[in-house]
Amino acid sequence: MKAQTLSLLVGLFSLKTIANAQQKKLEYTIKRNGEVVGNIHFTHGIAGSRTVLTMASEVNTRFVFNFKAKTKEETIFDKGIMTWSSIFRKLNGNVKVDKKTRANGNIYTVYKGSKTETLANYPIRYNMLSFYVIEPVNTTQVYSDNLQQQIDIQKIADHHYKIKFPDGNYNEYFYTNGVCSKIEIHHRLYSALIELTS
C-alpha cells in the first residue's frame, strides 16, 4: 500500500510538472520479421532543473502463442540525478513487472511489489529511458530499471552502442543528431527492430 500511495503521489506530481514543461515527443514502430507489431510513445519534458521521461509501448504478435504486451515507464531526474523511476508491464493481461526506484538521501530504495531493498549506487545519471534522448557519448554504464542494476555500455562505432544483459541477450542503439533513431533487439528466442518515425 505504501509503494502504491508513493507511486500515485509521484505520478500526480510528475504530471503537473509535465504540464508546465517544455515537451518533446517521439514516436517509434516496433517490427518483427519486417512486420509492424507495435509502437512506442515517448515524452521528454523539462521544467527548470527537473527532467521527466515517460514511455508507453504496446506489442501484439504471435510467437508460438498470441503475445500481447503493454509497458509503461517513467523516470524523473532532478539536477541530472535520477530521483524516481518506475516500470510496469503486462503480458496477456497478467502483471509481469511492477518495480519502482526512489532516491532516499544518498541511497536508492527499490520497491518490488510489497518488498523493498536498498541500492548503494547513488547517484544514477543515466537509465534505460535516457537512451532515447541522450546519446551516451561519455557514459559507460546504464541503470536497468527492470533488473535494478548497472549495465556496461560498449561503443561499437560513432553513434552506435551496445549493451549486453546478464542473460546474454543484447540491444544495439543507433543515433541521428543526438536522438535514438533505431534499436536492434537481439533475444535468444527472437529479434526485433525499433525505428523512429516522428
For residue 92, how many other CB atoms are within 10 A of its CB? 11
- Domain assignments of the chain as residue spans, ordered by start: 2-196
Compute the distance between CA of residue 70 and CA of residue 92 in angstroms, rounded to an integer: 9
pLDDT, averaged across the chain: 90
Asked if the model's pLDDT at residue 64 lies above 70, the reply is: no
Contact 110, 116 (CB under 8 A): yes
Question: Coil, helix or strand for 125?
Answer: coil
What is the band of 66 on the pLDDT scale with cuts at 50, 70, 90?
Answer: confident
Q: What is the pLDDT of residue 63?
A: 67
pTM: 0.86
What is the band of 61 on the pLDDT scale with cuts at 50, 70, 90?
Answer: confident
